[in-house]
Amino acid sequence: EEDFDLLQGVDAGDESVRYLPALPVIAIVGRPNVGKSQLVNRILGRREAVVQDTPGVTRDRVSYKGEWLDRRFTLVDTGGWEPDAKGIDASVAAQAEVAIDLCDVVLFVVDAMVGATATDEAVVKLLRKADKPVFLIANKVDDVRQEPEVYGLWNLGLGEPYPVSALHGRGVADLLDEIMKVLPTVSAVAKEEFGGPRKVAILGRPNVGKSSLLNKAAGEERVVVNDLAGTTRDPVDEQIELGGRVWRFVDTAGIRRRVHLQQGADFYASLRTQAALEKAEVAVVLLDVSQPISEQDVRIIELVLESGRALVLAYNKWDLLDDDRRRYLEREIELDLAHVAWAPRVNISARTGRHLEKLVPALETALDSWDTRIPTGKFNAFLTELTQEHPHPVRGGKQPRILFGTQAATRPPTFVLFTTGFLDPGYRRFIQRRLREIYGFEGSPIVVNMRVRE
Ligand code: GDP
């Protein structure tokens, strides 16, 4: 029963930490030169265009915080639609697809003076399929006399076109009023925005030394806020200063207050681990070096990987290690934990305090990797080089090609490859390996997804 309480108290809504709800996301999509940047500046209330909407200049997704009346939102400018060797349509459609996935409302901008082009039509097809509100924006309608130009855009099947002049601001206020009518107050797609101290889950099977580690950390360093009251009766999180910055250790109640359950202990332990991971950005998984690495250890690491959180491995009770056990340990690590060889490793003793200070740089490295974004241009250069050196093997007379790739998300870094056919699992692993070779991503899982174009 207590365990369920803990799970329900997952969101500790206290004032001391900025727990920002995920703001709704508005994505702007459109060809180069239709005036997206100008519109972004208008919506953000800037006087001058700070970004030039120049064709051929690679820009990546850029997001801004915006406000209209009392509503706040994130505005994502998809940019990066430069024509590439493989033809503009693939990259435009790819960017649009990613933008659609990541937003609550889409603003599709066309140049009303030019009308819809073939590239526009390709995007329209995707937009019609998306179950997201789409605003068709007819830009460059600087004058009421130009409004008739807009009627032709009804043919796109995206509903009523909104004539605006991003340059002069004409029609933009009305447009924003309409957008606010359909924009949710909390995003249905964006993840919680992490603000304030970074959130750490300390995980590990019973008796690996979780509470010893917490006590050591809290006892020897300054405790900034202890026993942050959650929605449950019990303390949920603790903030502790380590290495000059404050960290939020989540769900410490579950560590400090030992619950001995006879039946289903594994099940509850796993629920608790998942609840802690929900709230955390990075997990420290403790392993007891005096014991063989167990199935339970591997399962906990598996839960971290599933959650997509950053990972640090802490080998605890180092003071108990003798030479014999040490040799076995290294062998066990090679056998059982080879799949997380990318996680930073610290050898510590929660009892003596040995090397506890190494935990902080390990956490920082893992979080930096977790936050990393590789610009689309760079990522495609990486893909081009990789496929030139190691083309995908021919399967049944066919050879799937990668048309375009983009990093769709961070936390963890998530890549999408647009391909002409299914890539072999082995080839996808090869791409992952190469990504790590080139970019490191120490301490963070990385995800490579695929979208096959017929
Ligand atoms: P938890 O269940 O993961 O919270 O584990 P505890 O912190 O309660 O530790 C379980 C036992 O291991 C206790 O008896 C601790 O004193 C002991 N322990 C924890 N860390 C160390 C360590 O680094 N070295 C040694 N020798 N014992 C430790």
Q: Which among 426, 424, 423, 425 has a CA at the least distance from the CA of 405?
A: 423
Q: How far is the CA of 235 from the centre of ligand 1 (A)?
A: 21
Closest Cα to atom 7 of ligand 1: 209
CA 346 to CA 428: how far, in whole Å? 30
Task: Check residue 54 and give its pLDDT.
Answer: 42
Tokens of 79: 């940019």
Alpha helices in 265-415 (DSSP H): 265-279, 295-307, 323-336, 359-371, 376-389
Q: Which among 338, 366, 363, 378 has a CA at the least distance from the CA of 441?
A: 366
Task: Check residue 46 and give its pLDDT.
Answer: 66
CA 120 to CA 116: how far, in whole Å? 6
Ligand 1 touching residue 209 (CB < 6 A): yes
ipTM of this predicted complex? Answer: 0.95
Q: How far is the CA of 27 from the centre of ligand 1 (A)?
A: 50
Task: Check residue 48 and give its pLDDT.
Answer: 44
How do strand 414-419 and strand 402-409 relate by DSSP bridges? Answer: antiparallel
Q: How far is the CA of 210 from the centre of ligand 1 (A)?
A: 7
Is residue 370 within 8 A of residue 281, CB to CB? The reply is yes
Contact partners, residue 185, CB within 8 Å, separation at least 6: 24, 71
Contact partners, residue 181, CB within 8 Å, separation at least 6: none
Residue 206: count other Cβ atoms within 10 Å of its Cβ. Answer: 11
Tokens of 180: 């606010």
**Pocket perturbation via mutation, ligand 1, pick of 207, 249, 251, 325 by most ligand atoms within 8 A of CB:** 207
Ligand 1 touching residue 215 (CB < 6 A): no
Tokens of 351: 């009892």
Residue 338: count other Cβ atoms within 10 Å of its Cβ. Answer: 8
E strand or H helix at 202: strand 198-203
- The CA-based diameter of the chain, rounded to the nearest angstrom, is 87
Residue 163: count other Cβ atoms within 10 Å of its Cβ. Answer: 24
DSSP 165: B
Is residue 73 within 8 A of residue 388, CB to CB? The reply is no
Task: Check residue 193 and give its pLDDT.
Answer: 52
Is residue 200 within 8 A of residue 217, CB to CB? The reply is no
Is residue 58 within 8 A of residue 80, CB to CB? The reply is yes
Task: Check residue 15 and give its pLDDT.
Answer: 28
Q: How far is the CA of 276 from the centre of ligand 1 (A)?
A: 20
Ligand 1 touching residue 202 (CB < 6 A): no
Q: Which among 369, 364, 403 has a CA at the least distance from the CA of 383?
A: 403
Is residue 240 within 8 A of residue 247, CB to CB? The reply is yes
- Per DSSP, the three-state class of 452 is strand
The answer to whether the annotation marks 206 as part of a ligand binding site is: yes
Is residue 5 within 8 A of residue 235, CB to CB? The reply is no
Residue for token pair 């740089």: 361
Task: Check residue 257 and give its pLDDT.
Answer: 63
CA 191 to CA 195: how far, in whole Å? 12
- Per DSSP, the three-state class of 269 is helix
DSSP 130: S
Alpha helices in 196-256 (DSSP H): 210-220, 253-256
Tokens of 26: 């508005």
Burial of 370 (0-12, 13-18, 19+ CB in 10 A): buried
Q: How far is the CA of 61 from the centre of ligand 1 (A)?
A: 46
Q: pTM of the entire structure? A: 0.68
What amino acid occupies position 442? E
Ligand 1 touching residue 316 (CB < 6 A): yes
At residue 381, what are phi and psi to the nearest 5 degrees?
Answer: -65, -40
Ligand 1 touching residue 140 (CB < 6 A): no
Atom of ligand 1 nearest to the CA of 350: 23
Task: Check residue 21 and give its pLDDT.
Answer: 57
Task: Check residue 51 and give its pLDDT.
Answer: 46
Task: Check residue 215 and give its pLDDT.
Answer: 87
pLDDT along the chain (454 residues), means of 10: 28 33 82 86 69 43 78 77 53 73 89 88 86 93 84 90 93 95 81 70 93 83 41 60 86 68 63 85 97 95 94 97 93 96 97 93 96 91 96 91 89 91 93 96 94 80
Alpha helices in 45-156 (DSSP H): 88-102, 118-129
Alpha helices in 106-256 (DSSP H): 118-129, 172-182, 210-220, 253-256
